[in-house]
Structure 1
Amino acid sequence: MTLDLKTALKYLILFLIGVGVLYLAFKGQDLGKIWEEIKGADFFWVIASCLAVWIAHVLRALRWQMLYRSIHYQVGFWNAYHAVIIGYLANLALPRFGEIGRCSVINRAEKVPMFAAIGTVITERLFDVLVLFSTGLAMLVFQYDIVSDFLYHTIYLNVVNKLSTLNYFWLASFGLVALLLIFLGAYYLKQKLSKKMLRVFVNLREGFGSYGKLQQKGLFLTYTFAIWFFYCLSVYLAFLAISATAQLPYQAAFTAIVFSGFAMAAPVQGGIGVFHWMVAQSLVLYGVSFKDGLAYATIIHSAQVLIILILGSLSLFVILTKRTNRK
């Protein structure tokens, strides 16, 4: 991936949007009290929360390794692990670049075709999306009385108000132009890049088919649910770090992980701003003030970013050292 001026500007704009959301989230809040809450946090529980997230990363590497084995690539655990961590590190700089980055690490370290690797990543991400949506559905079913007011007033009414101000003629025109460009692009690729695209398609199909060829699908699903269990556990353990959230039930962690999951899907580096706002809003549903919710979100986000910076730098050093030794 070449980072030209246009791409750099796009990522800069996305970063500034994240900073803007962060500013709006903290605007009007008593920053002194938030800082006092953060300084008074019990960092034993913050470290325990980070450990739970790290276990989830290890499980993700093991799960990814299974997909490679199913399509006959013997990817070592440590290469898979380092690639996963480097991917998270890359996401802090460029949103969504981490998926390509970790595939590139495996391509260089294990000689796995790039698009086969991408196919495996898309496959495992689809399972993560299914778990996230299933968790969100369960949240609606079992905690409807808690989340319904937020969904109606904060989400539904805002969406309706925005839609009511749209010019549908221009929206329809934009949609038709987009469809036309898609068809023209597909025709061009078919005519000009047919052989290359065929190889890409074959490699992608190999990666997509990795789950179907698994001998231990039960173990793969166990890893998937365990990853999300440790994500929820990390959120819950961090509750214990500050007094304002220490009494929250595990159901609150369940809700916060759904909100944070959708926040991290936003194309903003590290979910900055969006993560803070969404997590704080999720805790408000359980009687926590928005100010204390922001303090909690700041603690858990900062801790997770720090751990990725440390572990990602170590993994990058290990991978680069291996490549140097081979030369």
Structure 2
Amino acid sequence: MGVFFVYYSITSATPEERATLWQNITKANPLYLLLSISFGILSHLSRAYRWKFLLRPLGYRVKFTNSFMAIMAGYLANLGIPRSGEVLRGASVSTYENIPFQKVFGTIISERVADLIMLLLVIGVALLLQFESLFYFFEEYNINPIWSIFILILLVLIGFGVLKFILRSTSAKLDKLRTFIKGILEGMVSIFKMKKFFAFIFHTFFIWVMYIAMFWIIQYAVPGTKNLDFSVILVAFIVGSFAITVTNGGVGIFPVVIGAVLLFFEVPQQDGEAFGWLVWGTQTVLNIVLGGLSLLFLPILNKTS
């Protein structure tokens, strides 16, 4: 799918447009790219430290290096199979810290709930700043956010219904599944047992400020986007977040989506797509390098004699 979108974006452009796109990418100011990478690293370090707060109420003190490397290995895995990184991340810490996988995975779910709340908060701010533009954008592309919210709520209710049925069932065939689910729930409720709750909140906000910062700073690397209003950048950030979430790391589709959103705000497509390629490219290279090193060093640093 990603290869198709890359092929489509290249072949649908004229030779002049492709030359402009390539020029925008190759002549981007490296200072802003390095700043974006730095913000990305800070967000990953903060996430690794925040995770320790969730595992501590369960009685486990995880090494910061293991927490960080497990997260980066997970990001690398997400480039291949969407959401597989959460499983690899949980399995890595479970293996090297000797913690039941279901408990580790429960804390990851709690983390994702906190991140979802932050994303909804960012969406709310963007709606306040760009309500009229977003309304016309949804109308032009026949997007109905109300239906999306309704479907999400319905899926959550169905999920709770299935969990309730399994936990209340007395069938012996479901014993292992019940035990597994109870372990996940124990990991999830650890968020309410943290002694450093406000530190967790601080890191949550810090992570998302860094996410936005690593996206925003790239606008100064492309001449056609450096004068964009922050509210426009925020809208592009939200759409890009969804593109990364529903695909394997946003490969191929992320630059196309960002280009389409910025085009709606009268930014030339080649400038918008160059912006998207630079954001996606810098963070993907970061995840490949740190993720690859993490997969290499996790077993080495945790080797037992």
TM range (shorter): 0.7 to 0.9
Between 191-200 and 101-110, report the one with greater CA deviation.
191-200
Counterpart selection for 2:94 from 98, 107, 131:
107
Give a deviation string over 1:242-269, Cα, whole Å, max 9, x none. 1111122332332222111111111x22
Q: Retained in 1: the 8 A contact 2:87–2:105?
A: yes
Query: Counterpart of 2:48?
Result: 61
Query: Counterpart of 1:292?
Result: 271
Give 1:130 deviation, angstroms: 1.2
The letter of the residue matching 2:139 is: Y
Alignment CA distance shift 1:219-1:322 (3 Å): same
Counterpart selection for 1:124 from 69, 87, 111:
111
Q: Is 2:207 the partner of 1:220?
A: no
TM-score (norm 1): 0.81
Counterpart selection for 2:4 from 6, 20, 25:
20
The letter of the residue matching 2:202 is: T
Counterpart selection for 2:219 from 222, 239, 255:
239
Q: Is 2:20 the partner of 1:42?
A: no
Alignment size in residue pairs:
288
Query: Counterpart of 2:181?
Result: 201
In structure 2, distance between residues paired with 1:286 and 1:71: 48
Q: Which ranges in structure 2 are unaligned for 5 or more consecutive residues?
A: 148-157
**1:71-90 paired onto structure 2 within 5 Å:** 71-90=58-77
Give a deviation string over 1:29-60, Cα, whole Å, max 9, x none. 22222111111111111111011011111111
Give 1:152 deviation, angstroms: 1.0
Report % sequence identity: 26
TM-score (norm 2): 0.87
Query: Counterpart of 1:273?
Result: 252
In structure 1, distance between residues paired with 2:203 and 2:173: 38
Query: Counterpart of 1:310?
Result: 289
Q: Retained in 1: the 8 A contact 2:82–2:245?
A: no
Q: Is 2:294 the partner of 1:326?
A: no
In structure 1, distance between residues paired with 2:18 and 2:172: 57
Alignment CA distance shift 1:32-1:220 (3 Å): same
Give 1:321 deviation, angstroms: 0.9
Give every structure 1 segment of 4 or more consecutive aligned residues whose post-TM-superposition deviation is greater than 3 Å: 21-27, 189-193
Query: Counterpart of 1:248?
Result: 228
